[in-house]
Amino acid sequence: MCGRFTNELTWAQLHALYKLADELFPVKSNLQPRFNIAPTQDVDFVHLDKAGNMELDRGRWWLVPFYAKELPKNAMFNARIEGVDTSGAFREGFKSRRCLIPADGYFEWTKSEIDGKKDPWLLQMPGGAPFSFAGIWAHNDNLGVTSCTIITAPAVPEISDIHDRMPIILPPEAYRTWLNTEIQGKEAKALLLDAQIDSQLEFHRVSREVNSSRYEGTDTKKPLINSL
C-alpha cells in the first residue's frame, strides 16, 4: 500500500530524473519540499504530451474518474494491479493515461506488540535517491479536477514484514515503456511486475508524529533511535 510519501526533490533532480526538455521547461521551478504528503493533497506527476515529451503536471492524489459527477468518497489514492485494467474507475487511465509520481520515500505502519499503537516506517532507495511510483491519471471536465493514483501490488519478500502490499516503483529505464500506451493488458501489467525495483528498498522506524497527516515537520525521515 502507500498511504503517505515524501518528495524533497529539487528542480535539478526532477529535471534529471525525467530528462525534461529545456525548451518546454526553460525556467527553474521553485519546488517546495514535502515531508508528509497525504491522500487528497496535490502532487506532481509526469506523463507524455501529444508530441511524446515528458510533461510535468500537478493533480489531486485521489483519482477522480473522468465521468464522476462528484468527488469520490471511496478510497481512490491507490489502485490495485489485480483490477487496474478492469475496474470502472481505473481502466481508462490504465489504457490511455499512465503517469509517474516522483518521491524520495514513503511510509508504512506496523502494530506495536508493546502498546498496540501504530509504528511508522520510512521506506526509501539506498542513499535516499529519488524514484517514481507507477500511476495513472485523469482529468474530470465536470469538476475541473486533474488527479492521479498510485498502482500497488503484493509486496516483495524484502518488505513483506512491514506490509503485504507495496506501491510499484519503476527504474528510470522503464519510464517510457510504462508510459507507452501501445503496450496494453497483460503485457503492461507484466511490465510493472517485472520492472519494479521495490526489492532494493531500505527502511527504518521514524517518530509516531508522522502518524498524523497534519504533521509536516522536516524530521519525518529521521531514524528513531529509542523505539518502543
| Cβ contacts of 86 within 8 Å, gap of 6 or more | none
Interval 151-169: pLDDT, tens: 999 999 999 999 999 999 9
Active site residue 108: yes
Q: Identify the active-site residue in 2, 8, 99, 148.
A: 2
Domain count, the chain: 1
| Prediction pTM value | 0.95
The 10 Å Cβ neighbour count of residue 227 is: 13
Q: Considering the domain boundaries, does residue 100 fall inside one?
A: yes
Given the residues 8, 55, 108, 148, select the one marked as catalytic.
Answer: 108
- Binned at pLDDT 50, 70 and 90, residue 228 comes out as very low
Tens digit of pLDDT for each residue in 45-74? 999 999 899 999 999 999 999 999 999 999
Backbone angles phi, psi at 73, to 5 degrees: -90, -25
- What would the mean pLDDT of 200-216 be, rounded to a whole number? 96
- For the question of residue 2 being annotated catalytic, the response is yes
pLDDT confidence tier of residue 145, bands split at 50, 70 and 90: very high
- CATH number, residue 69: 3.90.1680.10
Contacts 24+ apart (CB under 8 A), 67-72: 67/140, 68/140, 68/142, 68/143, 69/142, 69/143, 70/143, 71/143, 71/145
pLDDT digit string, tens, across residues 89-114: 999 999 999 999 999 999 999 999 99
In sequence order, the 6+-apart residues with CB closer than 8 A to the CB of 10 are 31
Please report whether residue 79 resides in a domain. Answer: yes
Query: What percentage of residues in the chain have a pLDDT greater than 70?
Result: 96
Residue 217 falls inside a structural domain: no
What domain range is 166 assigned to?
4-211
